[in-house]
Amino acid sequence: MHLLFCWTCVLVLVLPGPCSTAPTSIPEEEVTALITGQTQEDLKLATEYLRHYYNLKKEQPLARIKRYLPSFTSKVKDMQSFFGLNTTGSLDSETLEVMSTPRCGVSDVEDYSHNNRVNRWNKNVITYSIGSYTSDLPHSTVDSLIESALSVWARASTLTFVRSLTQRADIMVEFATFEHGDAYPFDGSKGTLAHAFGPGEGIGGDAHFDDDETWTAGSKGFNLYLVAAHEFGHSLGLRHSQNPESLMYPTYKSSRSSHNLLSKEDIAIINSLYGPKNSQPYYYSRHGWNPLYNPWFLGSHFPLMMQNKCSADLSFDAVSTLGDATFFFKDKYLWIKHNQQYDIKEGPINNFMPKIDSKIDAAFWVPRRSTAYLIHESMYWTVKGSIVKGKPKPISNFGFPPWVQEVDAAVHIVKTGRTLFFIHDIYYSYNENRRVMDAGYPQYISDDFQGLNTTIDAAVYKDGVIYFFVGPHVYKYDYTQKQVVGTEKANTWLGC
C-alpha cells in the first residue's frame, strides 16, 4: 500500500516497505571538511530533506565518508531538477528556501503504483467518515470543508462521495498529534501538516491531519479546505506533480484560489483513473492509436504537466525522427507525431521510455541501423525499435574531446552518412560508417551554414533539408544549395 503524506503537508509513500522517518545526522566534522560554506543547520536540513524525499542513504562509516559527498551532491541536483531550480548541486539560498517550505512527505522519486498497475479504487462510489475533529474549528465547519474538498474531485470526474457514520469508510479523516498509530508520527507545529494513504484495504485512503497546526477556513494558519483537497487527491491515487499550478504540487500555497483548484493536468489524471464527468472516456489519443500493439502507448499515467503545444513561444530541446514518427522533446515532456496520422501523443518522457527520467538535449536517428540516440548532458541512450537498450553511455564514445560535456543539437544526414553535433557556435562532423570524428573539426556554424549565427536548439533532416529549431522559430536550410530557404514557427510542427 502507498502512504502519501500531503502537500501543505507531508506525504509519505509506502511502497513495499515504509520510508524512514527518523533520519540521522551526518558526522559533522567529516561533512564540514568536505562541504564548505554551509552552516551545520543548513547541512542538517538538507540531509534530512534528501533522505526523506530523495532516497539519500544513511552516512557510511567514516572510512567511506568520501563516497558520501558525490551521492549528496547528486541528490541535491535531483531535488533542484524536480523543482525547476538551477541544478548546481550546491545548497544555494533558493534551494534551502524550498527545503524549508512545508510540503508533502511523499518521496519525489518514488512511483505510487505497484508493478506498474494503476493505483485506484475499483469503484466510483467512495465512502468517507470523520473519526475525530480539531478544536480549531466548529464541527459543522470541518464537516463542510471536508465535503467541499471531496467535491473538488467529484465535479471533475464520475466519482461520488457518500458520508458514512461508521468507522469502516473508504476514507477515514482523523486529526491527531505526534505518534498516532500508523508508524508515521507528526512533528508538531509548522512541520508535517498532514498525510494520506493511497487506495486500498485497511488504512488505505485514510487522511490524517496534524492537530498541532492551526486549522482555519481562511488565509491565516493552514486552510483545511486546500490541504484536504490535496490529501484526497492522494486518497484517490494521484501522485505528486512538478507543475506549480497543480493541486498536487508538493508544497503548500496559501495564496491558491479556492475556486477552480484543479489544473488541466489534475483533471486529465483523475479522468484517466475514474472517467470524466460526461459519458465519453477521456483519451489523449485518437484515430487508431492501439495501446495493445503500439510500443509508444502513453501508459497508465497521463502527463504530469500538460504543455500548450500551440503557444506562440513554444520551443523544443530536441527533435528527431524515429521510424515513421517525429519526436519533439521539451524539458521532461514529449510529443509524438506520426507522419501519416493527424493525432499527436503526448506526456512525460518516462511514460514512453521508463528508463529515462531526465530531459533530452539532443537526438538523432540513423535509419540504416533503425536506431536513435538521445543525449542528456554528457551521456546518451540508444533506442532500438521502441526499446531503450541498456544503460546510458558517455558521449566521449563519439570521439569528443574531454571538455565537451553537453550537446545543443544533433542531426544525421542520410545523404552523406554524417551526424552533425552542434555545440554553442561550433559543430562536429561524425562519420557513422567508420564511427570516428571527421578530421578538421570543429568548425564554426556561421562559416558553413550561411544565415545561422546563433546557438541551435534542435535539428532534424528530411528530404534533403535540415530544419534548424532556434527558440520558437524554425529555419529551413537546403543542404544542397547551402542556404536558408524559409522560416516558420515551431508550433506549426504540432499542427498549430
Distance CA 80, CA 403 (A): 24
- CA-closest candidate to residue 158, choices 115, 195, 123, 134: 123
Taken in order 366, 367, 368, 371, the sign of the CA dihedral is: positive
- Cα–Cα distances in Å, from 8 out to 102, 132, 192, 205, 359? 6, 20, 8, 18, 28
410 is in an annotated binding site: yes
Q: Quick check: helix, strand or coil at residue 40?
A: helix
188 is in an annotated binding site: yes
Distance CA 44, CA 95 (A): 14
206 is in an annotated binding site: yes
Distance CA 93, CA 316 (A): 30
Distance CA 350, CA 116 (A): 12
Distance CA 258, CA 329 (A): 34
Report residue 32 as a C-alpha cell.
564540514
- CA-closest candidate to residue 4, choices 232, 179, 157, 189: 232
Marked catalytic residue, from 231, 265, 406, 432: 231
195 is in an annotated binding site: yes
Q: Are 278 and 265 in contact (CB under 8 A)?
A: no
213 is in an annotated binding site: yes
208 is in an annotated binding site: yes
187 is in an annotated binding site: yes
478 is in an annotated binding site: no
266 is in an annotated binding site: no
156 is in an annotated binding site: no
104 is in an annotated binding site: yes
Q: Quick check: helix, strand or coil at residue 19?
A: coil
DSSP of 103-147, one letter per residue?
Answer: B--S-TT--SSGGG-----SSSEEEEEE----TTS-HHHHHHHHH
Give the strand pairing for 194-197 and 215-216: unpaired
Buried b (16+ CB within 10 A) or exposed e, 301-326: bbbbbbbebeeeebbbbbbbbbbebb
Our answer to whether residue 231 is catalytic in this structure is yes
Q: What are phi and psi of 34, to 5 degrees?
A: -100, -30
287 is in an annotated binding site: no
463 is in an annotated binding site: no
- CA-closest candidate to residue 284, choices 262, 266, 269: 269
210 is in an annotated binding site: yes
Instruction: Give the relative orientation of helices 65-82 and 40-53 as an angle to the nearest 10 degrees.
Output: 70
Residues that constitute the known binding site for Ca(2+): 136, 170, 187-188, 204, 206, 210-211, 213, 317, 361, 363, 410, 457
Residues that constitute the known binding site: 104, 136, 170, 180, 182, 187-188, 195, 204, 206, 208, 210-211, 213, 230, 234, 240, 248, 317, 361, 363, 410, 457
Residues that constitute the known binding site for Zn(2+): 104, 180, 182, 195, 208, 230, 234, 240, 248
Residues with a catalytic annotation lie at 231
